Amino acid sequence: MSFAKATLIEPLAVMLHVMELVQIQVGDTVAVLGAGPIGVLTAIMARIAGAARIFIADKVAHRVALAQEIAADVAVNTASASFYQAVMDHTRGRGVDVVFDAAAAPETIQSAIHVARMGGQLVLIWIPSVHDMRVDLLTAMAKELKIQTIKRSNHNTRAAIELLESGRIPEKIVTHQVPFDKTPAAFEMLAAYADGVGKVVIEID
């Protein structure tokens, strides 16, 4: 296993724990808010778990393109299009069975609530970007959504290694490998979403 691929062990272990808790059913429709490395891994794992159709949203064009290539059936750039409308159009107004918020922004949790179907699942796989966040609990209650939070993996490391070794997780999630002395520039690139950046690996000789 390459060093770059090995850096996916920990986040993939978290995703395996997520799938244990959420229990996606074969044929489910799934939405993912956020097409960064965690969001893309979420979509891939949802597919492995049996999801029939996967929607993913992001406002960064190159992330949307990568997600469409390796993880999603429908990828939406929310800088120019409505994710809600795309989901409703493709589900005949029903919404999705399971929606994951992997972006940790106030607007994405609202979007997640709105694209979920009645009785669907809302899964929060992030560390909040702000301490206090306004949430449309009235809509969540009206839909009787099941809300699941995630903290970490749970003894899933060995399974993550085996899954990576199986070749089912594309290494192109890692978009950049940079030497240690370029670490500040790598953080600047990440902050600016520049140069097609996804997951960055810092190489230490």
Q: What type of residue sits at position 125?
A: I
Euclidean distance between CA atoms 151 and 126, whole angstroms: 8
SS3 200: strand
Average pLDDT of adjacent 10-residue blocks, the chain of 205 residues: 92 95 96 95 96 97 96 96 98 98 89 97 85 86 96 91 95 94 95 92 90
Contact 174, 5 (CB under 8 A): yes
- Please name each of the domains of the chain with its CATH number: 3-149 (3.40.50.720)
pLDDT of residue 81: 96
In this prediction, residue 94 carries a pLDDT of 98
The whole-angstrom separation of Cα 104 and Cα 124 is 8
Q: Rounded to whole angstroms, how far apart are CA atoms 179 and 182?
A: 6
Residue ranges of the alpha helices (H) in the chain? 3-6, 9-22, 37-49, 61-70, 83-90, 106-115, 137-142, 157-165, 183-192
Other CB atoms within 10 A of residue 14 CB: 21
DSSP of 35-85: -SHHHHHHHHHHHHHT-SEEEEEESSHHHHHHHHHHT-SEEEETTTS-HHH
In this prediction, residue 127 carries a pLDDT of 76
Closest CA to 48 of 76, 84, 82, 12: 12
Q: Which two tokens stand for residue 161?
A: 């290694």
